[in-house]
Amino acid sequence: MQPEHLDAVLAIESISFPAPWEREAFLFEILFNETADYVVALYRDQVVGYGGIWLVLDEAHITNIAVHPAFRGRGVGRQILQELIRRAARRGATKMTLEVRSSNLIAQKLYRDLGFVVKGVRKRYYQDNNEDAIIMWLENIHAQA
């Protein structure tokens, strides 16, 4: 992800999440946060999705993954996640974690399909509606990289 991608990323972010990140948060992540790694998915030079991770020691934490609604169901999210897994493995991660809304069954299926397993629940994690977060882990990142 580069600064020139941010207008499209922010548009997808605002469509996808009730509490979207702001431009300054993404700028900090891509320009200054050395533990962060963000990618975009392009279709005909148009940003159609994005995702990011933080790397801490041997763990990668998925910060966000989102796909423009017009491109959902086409494997874009899977490709983004697979690229994040590859990048995390190259940077020394051995496992990966994420939080996902309990209502986001489509995302949960994608994560399970790629080897993530449920390890816990954070009750009332999401402040916009007090929804629970499902905590998922991919224990052997190299099996998927």
C-alpha dihedral sign at 115, 137, 131, 12: negative
| Catalytic residue annotation | 99, 111
Question: What distance in Å separates the CA atoms of residue 95 and residue 129, rounded to the nearest whole number?
Answer: 29
Rounded to the nearest 10°, the torsion over CA 17, 22, 23, 26 is: -70
Is residue 84 a contact partner of residue 60, using CB atoms and an 8 Å limit?
A: yes
Question: Secondary structure of the chain: what % helix, strand, coil (to 5)?
Answer: 35, 35, 25
Nearest CA among 81, 97, 100, 102 for reference residue 145: 81
Is residue 115 a contact partner of residue 140, using CB atoms and an 8 Å limit?
A: yes
